[in-house]
Structure 1
Amino acid sequence: MKIILTNEVSGLGAAGDIVEVKDGYARNYLIPRRFAIRWTKGGEKDVEQIRRARRVREIQTLEDANAVKARLEAVKVRLRTRAGDSGRLFGSVTPADIAAAIKEADGPAVDKRRIELSAPIKSVGSHSFTVRLHPEVAATLDIEVTAA
């Protein structure tokens, strides 16, 4: 099935790309989660609009990405959240929470879709995560989760 990606999908492509995928993957995963829309001749017009919006959001050059990476890695990210006596969180820490904590720590604005967690954060302590700034640049940061 031919689809148009509306969001970046790891291993598949970026927003605005037209890709061919298996029918079940498109119908059961990509389209319901609004990562993609079906390709049509009329939808071809939407591709340029999606690409323009992507260009506005993303970091354009490698030098800019490296500068943002340096600013990010200089920031100490701390997040206070509710936790039980054993150190287990009520819920989990989401990429949106991390993006807000980075902004609160006077770091650069980071899109929550660019934050990659290796595993869900469900306990207090220090955890690592990655921020994809550019296809060639990724910043690895630590977050200190404490009980409120």
Structure 2
Amino acid sequence: MNVVLRADVDGVGKKGDMLQVADGFARNYLIPKGRAIKATPGVQAQAAAMRRSAAAREAREREQAQGVASKLVPMVIRIPAKAGAEGRLFGSVSSADIAEAVGDQSDAVLDRRSLQIEEPIRTVGEHAVGVKLAGGVEFVLNVEVVKG
């Protein structure tokens, strides 16, 4: 049976894809759960329009993300924090703190979830923080924690 997916389905396809699936899979799983609809000429045209709009949206997001990355890559984000004599912080610098500092020190806005930091920073010095933005744009942000 030919169906058009209304949502991403793991191992099957992405939203807007038109594909051939087993009749039982379509009737018993995809269609009742609202994840697909039977492909008719009208539905196929709608699916093509959805794919075009999704591709355009992804291209815009990728372009915006590349603009943000080009602004932030040469920068060093400085974050003041209280620290002891040995350079160990009283507390830590989290991804939310880094995202806030980026907003304060540049006109770019980062979501804390886009920062790939395994654990909060607990020492003074320079640290490399991975950033993953929409559209698959990835870069490294230089963060310097200073005594303050």
> Does the TM-score normalized on the shorter chain lie above 0.5?
yes
Matches within 5 A, 1:88-99: 88-99=88-99
Q: Within 2, Cα distance between the matches of 1:107 and 1:131?
A: 16
Match of 1:109 in 2: 109
TM-score with structure 2 length normalisation? 0.57
Please report the RMSD computed on the Cα atoms of aligned residues, expressed in angstroms. 2.9
Superposed, which structure 2 residues align to 1:112-123 within 5 Å? 112-123=112-123
CA distance in 2, matches of 1:79, 1:59: 33
User: Residue 59 and residue 119 in structure 1: after superposition, are their counterparts in 2 closer, same or farther (change >3 A)?
Assistant: farther
Shift in Å, 1:131:
1.2
Q: 1:104 to 1:18 in 2, by over 3 A?
A: same
The Cα of 1:60 is off from its aligned counterpart by 4.6
Q: Is the 8 A contact 1:124 1:146 kept in 2?
A: yes
Give 2:117's aligned amino acid. Answer: L
1:98-136 Cα distance to aligned partner (Å, 9 max, x none): 011111112401001111114431100000001111252
Partner of 1:12: none
| Structure 2 unpaired stretches of 5+ | 1-6, 11-33, 35-53
Cα distance between partner residues in 2 of 1:62 and 1:94: 26
- Give me the whole-angstrom Cα distance separating, in 1, the residues matched to 2:139 and 2:85: 32
TM-score by length of 1: 0.57
Partner of 2:25 in structure 1?
Answer: none
State how 1:128-147 maps to structure 2 within 5 Å.
Answer: 128-147=128-147
Helix, strand or coil at the partner of 1:142: strand
**Distance verdict in 2 for CA 1:69–1:59, change over 3 Å:** farther
* Greater Cα radius of gyration, structure 1 or 2: 2
Superimposed CA distance per residue, residues 6-27 of structure 1 (whole angstroms, 9 cap, x where no aligned partner):
xxxxxxxxxx9677xxxxxxxx
Gaps of 5+ in 1: 1-15, 20-43, 45-54
Distance in 2, Cα, partners of 1:117 & 1:127: 10
After TM superposition, where is structure 1 displaced by more than 3 Å over at least 4 residues in a row? 16-19
